[in-house]
């Protein structure tokens, strides 16, 4: 068994994959963890993917649409998004989110 | 497709599964997410399980041993623990951690 090392989130490269959305990505065998900082006013159009996604709002306020439901996420709000479910949203303030995907987002590797 | 609902972490029951370790558990098809609040001084003996575990320190300071390595986790420290790798630790201050398990922790359901 290889001994894993303790790591710092700050050491993970930041990638602006969509305008105003800054991603730090961690890939494991079965998941991708995505820490996302979003600038106020930035939005991500409705999209979908084969991965399940769990989204946790860590800081700020984010207007999220999932399927036919739109709600304002605040810290401690979370949502479990099934595979292929359309979703998207807009940062009302600067935000931090944690998205957890299953399986791994190979398109982000 | 069923439309998922937005949920609040505060609505998830808190279970003290080990002395001083207070768990809020979310189970999906492939993962268990475990938000853990730990009282300063509480410790979890070295143990292991077949699940991979990713641990993120959200608040406080936590002394973690994984395999042969011991380190102090602070906010933004994380570690990816392979299946069956012995690990355990002790809260130096009151702490909050997020542990992500794969597959689901059926023993916690």
Contact B1 A102 (CB under 8 A): no
Contact A66 B3 (CB under 8 A): yes
pLDDT band at A1 (very low <50, low <70, confident <90, very high): very low
Span A21-78, pLDDT tens digits: 999 999 999 999 999 999 999 999 999 999 999 999 999 999 999 999 999 999 989 9
Note the pLDDT of residue B32. 97
Span B4-40, pLDDT tens digits: 689 999 999 999 999 999 999 999 999 999 999 999 9
Closest-CA distance of chain B to residue A6, Å: 5
Contact A7 B78 (CB under 8 A): yes
Facing A54 at nearest CB: one of B33, B84, B102: B33
> Does the pLDDT at position B1 exceed 60?
no
Sign, CA torsion A59/A62/A66/A69? positive
Span B40-91, pLDDT tens digits: 999 999 999 999 999 999 999 999 999 999 999 999 899 999 999 999 999 9
Q: Is A24 on the interface with B (CB under 8 A)?
A: no
B10-40 burial: b if 16+ Cβ within 10 Å, else e: eebeeeeeeebbbbbbbbbeebbbbbbbbee
Note the pLDDT of residue A2. 52
Note the pLDDT of residue B93. 98
The count of CB pairs under 8 A between chains A and B is: 119
* Annotated domain spans of chain B: 13-108
Q: Is B24 on the interface with A (CB under 8 A)?
A: no
CA B102, CA B109: separation in Å to the nearest integer?
14
Average pLDDT over residues A68-95: 95
CA B97, CA A79: separation in Å to the nearest integer?
19
Contact B57, B100 (CB under 8 A): no
Facing A3 at nearest CB: one of B64, B68, B77: B68
Facing B7 at nearest CB: one of A6, A28, A78: A78
CA B26, CA B39: separation in Å to the nearest integer?
21
Q: Pick one of 1.10.8.60, 3.60.70.12, 3.40.50.10070, 2.60.120.10 as the CATH number of B13-108.
A: 2.60.120.10
The complex's ipTM works out to 0.92
Note the pLDDT of residue A5. 81
Q: Hey, what CATH class is A33-108 in? A: mainly beta
């Amino acid at each position: 068994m290889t001994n894993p090392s303790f790591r710092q989130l700050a050491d993970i490269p930041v990638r602006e994959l969509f305008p105003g959305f800054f991603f730090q990505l961690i890939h494991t065998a079965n998941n991708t963890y995505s820490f996302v900082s979003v600038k106020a006013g930035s939005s991500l159009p409705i999209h979908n993917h084969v991965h399940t996604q769990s989204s946790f709002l860590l800081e700020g306020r984010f207007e999220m649409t999932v399927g036919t439901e739109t709600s304002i996420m605040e810290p401690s709000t979370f949502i479990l998004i099934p595979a292929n479910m359309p979703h998207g949203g807009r940062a009302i303030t600067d935000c931090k989110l944690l998205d957890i995907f299953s399986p791994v987002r190979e398109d982000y590797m």
